[in-house]
């Protein structure tokens, strides 16, 4: 099967997953909403906007004048990881989920034309928020989304209304485990021999493992998820890009003191929803947040790294209560106020 065929299958899988998300939302929404609170149909728009000459793809749903949620995905996925969550939130919030350069449907320039680093990704997403008119927003951060989102938060603390972190690290304790040992070795010595030990993490077995390890019931995890991610990963040149980002991840621990100082100074409202069976970012990285944010809400869920695959309804319920308390959203806007905004 050639790359074009794989890509077409991936796109079809995404479409099917999005349709399934709507069905899942309908069946699970009663537990995610207040008693007698009406549910209005929501639709997801698929848009793109130019940022520094790069085509940045994003999913958007919800009322254009509602409080904004910016959902930042992890590795090796894209905004498709939020396909189940978006319909559970978009009746009340403007939900925006972009793909980073080199991920999903966004442009994937060569390394000669774009520096793949967390500084660069954060800069692009920062400018993306301006391009789509997101002046203030709550952040949902998972995996790679954490170092990207925290860079933005430190640069613009006045723009951050709240933070939801799900298996996204900001403390040394979160990297003190077996998974990170060969990656830390690569940070110290960027040799081909050390790189070779990491390349299996870009192959199908590892991608599937991230989705299935630690899950209560693997039958609840759609194979579409890792199939789509792997199709993007298998694009010519992408694995070298991902390897460069593995190396760049080594710059993140140096930012931890600044991020923690931001937590202590600004005390952003934080909801921590964490798959406690995650072998990449275990709970050792979740509990330290409480040192700097004693009012943060912590929920350890019996699931794995991609907790939304199994617990999207649970997380949506927790988010709705948390955001209602923190953002004072009040009643949803009238039907006449609904719609999407952003660049086409």
Would you name the residues annotated as active-site residues? 305
CB-based burial, 133-168: b 16+ in 10 Å, e otherwise: ebeebbbbbbbbbbbbbbbbbbeeeebbbbbbbbbb
The rounded distance, in Å, linking the Cα atoms of 226 and 239 is: 15
**Cα separations in angstroms, 241 against 97, 102, 116, 120, 248:** 21, 7, 7, 13, 10
| Measured CA distances, 79 to 48, 58, 59, 72, 192 (Å) | 13, 7, 7, 7, 31
Structure-block tokens of residue 243:
């390897």
Q: How far is CA 123 from CA 48, 127, 130, 155, 251, in A?
A: 17, 6, 11, 10, 15
Q: What is the dihedral of CA 230, 231, 233, 238, to 10 degrees?
A: 170
Place of tokens 């992890």: 74
Contact predicate 155/126, CB 8 Å? yes
Asked if residues 6 and 234 have their Cβ atoms less than 8 Å apart, the reply is yes
Q: Which of 15, 49, 6, 12 is nearest to 340 (CA)?
A: 49
CA 288 to chain centre: 20
CB under 8 A, 24+ apart: contacts of 109-113: 109/54, 110/237, 111/237, 111/240, 111/241, 111/244
What is the C-alpha to C-alpha distance for residues 80 and 229, in angstroms, rounded to an integer? 9
From residue 344, how far is each of 43, 112, 131, 132 by CA, in Å? Answer: 16, 28, 11, 10
């Amino acid at each position: 099967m050639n790359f074009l065929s794989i890509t077409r299958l991936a796109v079809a899988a995404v479409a099917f997953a999005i349709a399934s998300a709507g069905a899942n939302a309908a069946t699970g929404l009663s537990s995610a909403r207040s008693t007698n609170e009406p549910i209005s149909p929501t639709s997801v728009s698929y848009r793109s906007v130019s940022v520094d000459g790069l085509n940045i793809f994003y999913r958007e749903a919800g009322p254009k004048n509602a409080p904004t949620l910016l959902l930042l995905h992890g590795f090796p996925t894209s905004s498709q990881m939020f396909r189940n969550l978006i319909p559970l939130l978009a009746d009340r919030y403007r939900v925006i989920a972009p793909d980073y350069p080199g991920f999903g449907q966004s442009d994937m320039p060569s390394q000669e034309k774009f520096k793949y680093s967390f500084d660069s990704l954060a800069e692009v997403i920062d400018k993306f928020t301006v391009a789509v008119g997101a002046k203030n927003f709550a952040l949902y951060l998972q995996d790679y989304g954490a170092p990207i989102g925290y860079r933005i938060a430190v640069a613009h603390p006045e723009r951050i209304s709240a933070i939801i972190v799900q298996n996204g690290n900001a403390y040394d304790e979160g990297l003190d485990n077996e998974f990170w040992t060969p990656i830390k070795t690569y940070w110290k010595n960027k040799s081909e021999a050390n790189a070779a030990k990491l390349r299996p993490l870009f192959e199908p077995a590892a991608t599937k493992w991230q989705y299935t390890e630690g899950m209560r019931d693997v039958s609840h995890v759609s194979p579409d998820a890792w199939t789509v991610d792997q199709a993007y990963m298998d694009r010519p040149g992408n694995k070298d890009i991902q390897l460069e980002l593995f190396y760049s991840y080594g710059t993140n621990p140096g930012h931890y003191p600044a991020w923690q100082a931001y937590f202590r100074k600004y005390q952003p409202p934080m909801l921590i929803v964490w798959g406690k069976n995650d072998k990449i970012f275990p709970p050792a990285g979740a509990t330290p947040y409480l040192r700097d944010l004693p009012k943060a809400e912590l929920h350890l869920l019996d699931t794995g790294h991609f907790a939304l695959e199994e617990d999207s309804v649970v997380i949506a319920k927790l988010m709705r209560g948390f955001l209602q308390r923190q953002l004072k959203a009040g009643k949803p806007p009238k039907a006449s106020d609904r719609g999407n905004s952003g660049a086409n």
